Amino acid sequence: MKRAAATIVWVLLVSAPLAAAESRVGPRGQIIVDGRPSIPLAVWVQPTYLFDYNQQLGLTCMVNPHVERRMVHLRRRTVFSEADRTGLQIITRYRDEAVREPSVLAWSADVMVPGRLDRLRRSYDWIRGKDRTHFIIRNIDVHEFLDGQSPEFYREALRHTDAVICHVWPEFRNDGKRNLRNVATFVDMIRDYCKDRPGGEVAVMPDINPHAWHAKERAGGTNYPVPTRAELRFQIWLALIHGADAVCFFPISFDPFVYSQITAQNEQEIAWNAQLIRRMTPALAAEESPLGITVRSDRADGILDVTTRRAGGTHTVFLVNGQAEEQTATLSVPGLGTEWTLRDAVNDKPVDLKGSGEFSEKLPGLALRIWQLVPAGGAAPPK
């Protein structure tokens, strides 16, 4: 959670012409586009007639639209032209002629499946030999991976990709028990497996459900409930706090197949989060704060997920209540109330400290807080 990931939301203005982008993954897993750190906000396999809709939600990237193109026999050119028109970027399978397309963000490669290590290595080397201007991302099967199977395979397989994406949902074990923390477990496991990876960490993109959906009949045909706005917000920020470098949304249902059926409430939630992430760009892009910032719970069993950043003279604390039960979080910072004032960055309002040294707030279950420490009185920031 303390990983100092350089992050910034890459929002393309629809009215601006697109230039061919270069993308790479930095040593901490940060996605860098044309020299700028970026957090793509993506959506999984959408048809061209939904490009405008997804762009209006604040999303910036399409993952694997080539799958939809094959299903409805669209010309490849149509996908790229629609991406250019809407300002969306694309993660797609490698094509020689696509290297020059301005909308291409990354190449989608084979799924990581135990027993296919040689194939993964060959496909990575083949794509990298063809193009060094875009990073390569692979999908991971959530059951194989989060169940802890084949750890040595995944450690080695992660050497043959630049980024990973995985569909992670609260009921993935299909035992009726929802666990909203699965997304954090996924990010943490990838980070752990990448500890000794040559060249640094991979970029991590969890794929989160914003809707009620029905699984494929061959997978049991299970119905999964729609997340509340609080549950969706929690999963997004839990992933970012634990070190995710991008977020994807999975709006598809199977049997019958539906591309997108997000509720109006969660459409609003996605748009709200996209705006907030964009506004918090300077803090998300910064290094870990060197201040002695601590956050503690009033509960012995309390779970608080926290990371900190320093941007210029401002220090930012990103926090979610890691459980459904309410708890009181206490922020402690040397000089709080004398050297530092406190702002609620979500609402962009000052916080009444009612004293100095500490600040406490009762948090509803799953609540998000973003606090900013600002030098008091406009003085030079303390070291």
On whether both 107 and 158 belong to a single domain, the answer is yes
| For range 3-24, the mean pLDDT | 47
On whether both 203 and 307 belong to a single domain, the answer is no
User: pLDDT tens across 104-118, in order?
Assistant: 999 999 999 999 999
User: pLDDT tens across 122-172, in order?
Assistant: 999 999 999 999 999 999 988 889 989 999 999 999 999 999 999 999 988
Residue 372 lies in a domain: yes
- End of a domain among 236, 258, 284? 284
On whether both 33 and 170 belong to a single domain, the answer is yes
Residue 272 lies in a domain: yes
3-class DSSP assignment, residue 343: strand
**CA 370 from centre of chain:** 17
Quote the CA–CA distance of 147 and 175 in Å, as a whole number: 13
Confidence grade of residue 76 (pLDDT, cut at 50, 70, 90):
low
Average pLDDT, the chain: 88
Per-residue tokens: 138: 């692979």
| For range 306-334, the mean pLDDT | 95
Residue 7 lies in a domain: no
pLDDT exceeds 70 at position 1: no
3-class DSSP assignment, residue 28: coil
Residue 12 lies in a domain: no
How many domains does the chain divide into?
2
On whether both 358 and 214 belong to a single domain, the answer is no
- End of a domain among 261, 284, 307? 284
What is the pLDDT, as a whole number, of residue 97? 83
What is the pLDDT, as a whole number, of residue 7? 34
Residue 16 lies in a domain: no
On whether both 39 and 70 belong to a single domain, the answer is yes
What is the pLDDT, as a whole number, of residue 28? 87
What is the pLDDT, as a whole number, of residue 160? 97
What is the pLDDT, as a whole number, of residue 5? 38
Least confident of 78-87, 188-197, 232-241, 282-291: 282-291
pLDDT exceeds 50 at position 371: yes
What is the pLDDT, as a whole number, of residue 218? 77
On whether both 269 and 324 belong to a single domain, the answer is no
Confidence grade of residue 278 (pLDDT, cut at 50, 70, 90):
confident
What is the three-state SS of 124-191?
Answer: HHHHHHHCCCCEEEEEECHHHHHCCCCHHHHHHHHHHCCEEEEECCCCCCCCCCCCCCHHHHHHHHHH
pLDDT exceeds 70 at position 11: no
CATH number at residue 302: 2.60.40.1180
- End of a domain among 252, 284, 316? 284
On whether both 170 and 78 belong to a single domain, the answer is yes
What is the pLDDT, as a whole number, of residue 15? 31
| For range 322-350, the mean pLDDT | 95
232: domain range?
23-284
Residue 5 lies in a domain: no
pLDDT exceeds 90 at position 298: yes
Residue 312 lies in a domain: yes
pLDDT exceeds 70 at position 372: yes
CATH number at residue 117: 3.20.20.80
On whether both 240 and 352 belong to a single domain, the answer is no
Amino acid at 155: R
Confidence grade of residue 379 (pLDDT, cut at 50, 70, 90):
low
Closest CA to 37 of 25, 50, 21: 25
On whether both 182 and 63 belong to a single domain, the answer is yes
On whether both 145 and 126 belong to a single domain, the answer is yes
For residue 83, the 8-state DSSP code is H
Residue 134 lies in a domain: yes
On whether both 279 and 300 belong to a single domain, the answer is no
What is the pLDDT, as a whole number, of residue 8? 30
Closest CA to 283 of 205, 370, 201: 370
On whether both 325 and 247 belong to a single domain, the answer is no
As a whole number of Å, the end-to-end CA separation of the chain is: 23
